[in-house]
Every structure is written in structure tokens, then in C-alpha cells.
Amino acid sequence: MNMPQVVLMGTLDTKGPEYGWLRDRLRARGVSVLLVDTGTLDAPRVAPDIPREEVARAAGTDLATLRAHGDRGVAVTAMAHGAAAVLARLHAAGRLDGVLSVGGSGNSAISTSAMRALPVGVPKLMVSSMACGDVAPYVGGKDLTLMYSVVDIAGLNRVSLRVLANAADAIAGMAVGYAAGRPAPAGDRPVVGATMAGVTTRGVDAARERLAGLGYEVLVFHASGAGGRSLEAMAAGGLLAAVLDATLLEVSTGRLGGVGGAGPERLEAAGRAGVPQVVSLGALDMAKFGPAVPERLRHRHVHVHNPSVTVVRTSPAECAAMGREVAAKLRAATGPTALFVPLRGLSTLSVAGGVYHDPEADAALFEAVRAGLAGSAVELHELDADVNDPAFGRAMADRLHALAGGPARAAC
């Protein structure tokens, strides 16, 4: 087996000594290192293997132009594009078994943007002073690992050395495993992406088991923001044969400004790509927040899901608006699409007797969906069941199988 190779990537004008130390640590661990410079200002403080001039050229520009522009944001964006192109080239050439970067806000923006251009499965580790709070802009929908630096990346000291040593040892171990090339077998089953949350688990599990029996491999994405973005990215990238989008918690959370929305393009990628999809309205009865909800919502029915998560019941007006939004997005789909409506409850909390049981709000959602889909090519299936009824999950799976024209297997 060839020696695993890790790419160390960062702004060597400000973090040169730290990168030099990491390079030596990795080499001592039996890992080959390529040092990529993404700085644009002062001279690098350690010699790179791939200089900043090459990174700038990969972005279609040059350092003189970036410096003359005088806008740091422009330079960061350009170097991020160039770094992504460099990483893609190295990966295609078989010269990349992992990527490690360290730094603050600017370097984190450049490096994580470049890392996100790599396929899922390639080890990606970012040590950052920004790895706390909302890290969604850095992670996106990729398997990117963030490590909080504790102290800023500004010199080698008793804290930073321990953190950097852990990071180097971690990426070395990941690179060795990646270079060995022994992941789980991919198989030849068509892949379905499904969405789930704790409040929709039972129904999605029933759908997943049915689809597995029908010959599909099912990837379940937690509707936490990053999960929805991952689903959208995989659908847009042609990696999914079909989508079972049973849980739209990210839509309601985004509408109420909660924690874990997936952005305004949620529920669009599969439709744009023509991927067969079955969608439901799971978890639109709530929006997710952290341990506390904003003052403006404290008069609502607030439910403590766990010590880190609280949820708020969506109102009839919000449900009507979400029904119109869902219908409009599904109408725009270019592939076969079906919407399944669970008339007896959108989650474990809104069934009869549940703390979020609100027939008025549910009716507003259902009526908006019916009106919005009237006259469209989208199939509308209304079932006298709640979203967690196993029969509801199996019905969604059976219809997705029919729309996708997937492998013929006997159902479980």
C-alpha cells in the first residue's frame, strides 16, 4: 500500500509555524504531506508544496488582481474556489487521502468551502476558533468534522499544541483507513433518501423496512438542518434514485426562525432533478428551538423535547402558509411526485390526546395543500392515519416503488 497522503491547507502568511509543526507531526506518523498555501497578503512563513499563485490561477485570477482589488471578501471567495479546484484535482489523481486545516474565520471559510467540494467519505477535518455556535455555514451537507481550537490559532502553546496534536493524529488515522480502501460495500441496489425526526420515526422505519424488502438501499437523513441540506445535495447530484421526504420539520423551523432550518431551497432539489418523490407533512405541527424560545413565541404551547431542544406548536395561519409553500414547490417538480397527507396526526405530539393536537391548525394545512395542488400533476393521497402508523409508512413506500419503477422484489 502506498503511503497515505494528507493535504494541509491554509493561510501560511499568518499560520506558518502551526502548519510547519503539523506537517512534521504527520510525517512522524508515517503520513505523506502536501502543504497548500491559500494566503494572499504577506510572504508565507513556511514553504508550501502548492503555492498561493497556483491556487489563485485555479480560481481564474492572480494575486496581483486580488491585492489590487483591496476587498478581503473577494480574496477569500476567490481562494476558496481555487482551493476547491486544487483539492478536486488532487483527489482525481489519487493524491489525497484526507484534508486538515486550522485557523479562524477567514481560513475556516476558505478551507471548509474547498472541503465541501470533495465527495462524501473523504476525510475532512477543520480545527477552528469558529467551531462553536452555528456551524452550518461551514459544514453544509458534507461529512466535515469540526474541532474547536479552545484558544485561537495564534502561536504554539501548551493548549494549542495538544489540540493540534490530536487533530494531526486524527487525520492521520482517518487517512490510513481511507487509503486502505475497505469501506462498506456499495452494492448495486438503487438508493432512496428518506427524512426522519424523533417524532416521525415509527412511520419512517416502516417505510424503510418496506423499501429494503423491495430491493432498495435507504439512507435516512435526520431533519436537523444539515440532514435536509445533505438530502438536497445528494438529490441534485444524481446520487438518489428516489426520495421519501416524510419529515418537513426544517420547513416549519425555518419559517418560525428556529434552530435547524435547511434554507429556502428545502424541498426543491429532487423536483428540479426529476427524481421520483413521495412527500408527507410530518412534523409541520412544530418548529424546533434550542433550550429557550424567543420572547415573541413564549405565549405559545412550548414543549420540552429534551434538555437541548424545545419545540413550539405552529398556528393555523402558519400551517396555511406552509401548505401553500409545499404545494407550490411540489407543483414545480419535473419528475413523478406524490403527497401523502396523514389526516390523524403529523407527529407523535399531534395525534388525538397529544399535547399538540390541534384540528384547526391541521385543517388549515390540509386545505391549503388541496387548493395548491388542484389541477396539478402531483398525486394527492389522503389517508385516515397518522404519520407514525406503520400502514401509512408502508403505503408511502409502495407508491414510491411504483413511481420509481424500482427492482421487483417481494415486499416484506
Write out the DSSP string of 282-302.
ETTTEEEESSS--GGGTTS-E
Rounded to whole angstroms, the Cα distance separating 82 from 114 reads 8
Regarding whether 153 and 203 lie in a shared domain, the answer is no
Grid-cell match 480574496, residue found: 75
- Are the CB atoms for 224 and 287 separated by under 8 Å? no
Task: Please list, in sequence order, all residues whose beta carbon lies within 8 angstroms of the beta carbon of residue 81, skipping any fewer than 6 positions away.
Answer: 58, 59, 60, 113
411, part of any domain:
no
Regarding whether 267 and 203 lie in a shared domain, the answer is yes
58, part of any domain:
yes
Regarding whether 146 and 20 lie in a shared domain, the answer is yes
Regarding whether 144 and 68 lie in a shared domain, the answer is yes
- Cell numbers found for residue 282: 410530518
Tell me the pLDDT tens digit for each residue of 294-345.
889 888 888 887 778 899 999 999 999 999 999 999 999 999 999 999 999 9
Regarding whether 245 and 338 lie in a shared domain, the answer is yes
Give the pLDDT confidence score for residue 143 in this predicted structure: 87
Q: Give the residue from 180, 207, 233 where a domain finishes.
A: 180
Rounded to whole angstroms, the Cα distance separating 235 from 217 reads 15
Q: List the domain range (segments joined by +) for residue 318.
A: 191-404
Regarding whether 334 and 257 lie in a shared domain, the answer is yes
CATH of the domain at 269: 3.40.50.12030
DSSP 221-238: EESSSHHHHHHHHHHHTT
398, part of any domain:
yes
Regarding whether 219 and 80 lie in a shared domain, the answer is no
Q: Is the pLDDT of residue 233 over 90?
A: no
- pTM for the model stands at 0.75
**What's the number of domains the chain is made of?**
2
Query: How many angstroms separate the Cα of 83 from the Cα of each of 43, 56, 75, 88, 340?
Result: 18, 8, 12, 9, 43
Tell me the pLDDT tens digit for each residue of 17-46.
999 999 999 999 999 999 999 999 889 999
Q: Give the residue from 118, 150, 180 where a domain finishes.
A: 180
- Cell numbers found for residue 273: 432533478
* H or E stretch at 83: helix 72-92
- Are the CB atoms for 162 and 151 separated by under 8 Å? no
How many helices (H) and strands (E) the chain has is answered by 14, 14
Task: Please list, in sequence order, all residues whose beta carbon lies within 8 angstroms of the beta carbon of residue 279, skipping any fewer than 6 positions away.
Answer: 243, 245, 246, 248, 267, 326, 330, 337, 338, 339, 340
Tell me the pLDDT tens digit for each residue of 92-129.
999 999 999 999 888 899 999 999 989 888 999 999 98
- Are the CB atoms for 358 and 350 separated by under 8 Å? yes
210, part of any domain:
yes
Regarding whether 59 and 202 lie in a shared domain, the answer is no
* H or E stretch at 317: helix 316-331
CATH of the domain at 136: 3.40.50.12020
412, part of any domain:
no
115, part of any domain:
yes
Rounded to whole angstroms, the Cα distance separating 98 from 179 reads 9
Q: Give the residue from 150, 180, 210 where a domain finishes.
A: 180
Regarding whether 360 and 215 lie in a shared domain, the answer is yes
Regarding whether 162 and 91 lie in a shared domain, the answer is yes
With cut-offs at 50, 70 and 90, classify the pLDDT of residue 412. Answer: very low
| 312 φ/ψ angles, rounded to the nearest 5 degrees | -125, 135
Q: Is the pLDDT of residue 411 over 50?
A: no
Average pLDDT score over residue span 120-149:
87
Regarding whether 250 and 173 lie in a shared domain, the answer is no
3-state secondary structure of 193: strand
Regarding whether 264 and 242 lie in a shared domain, the answer is yes
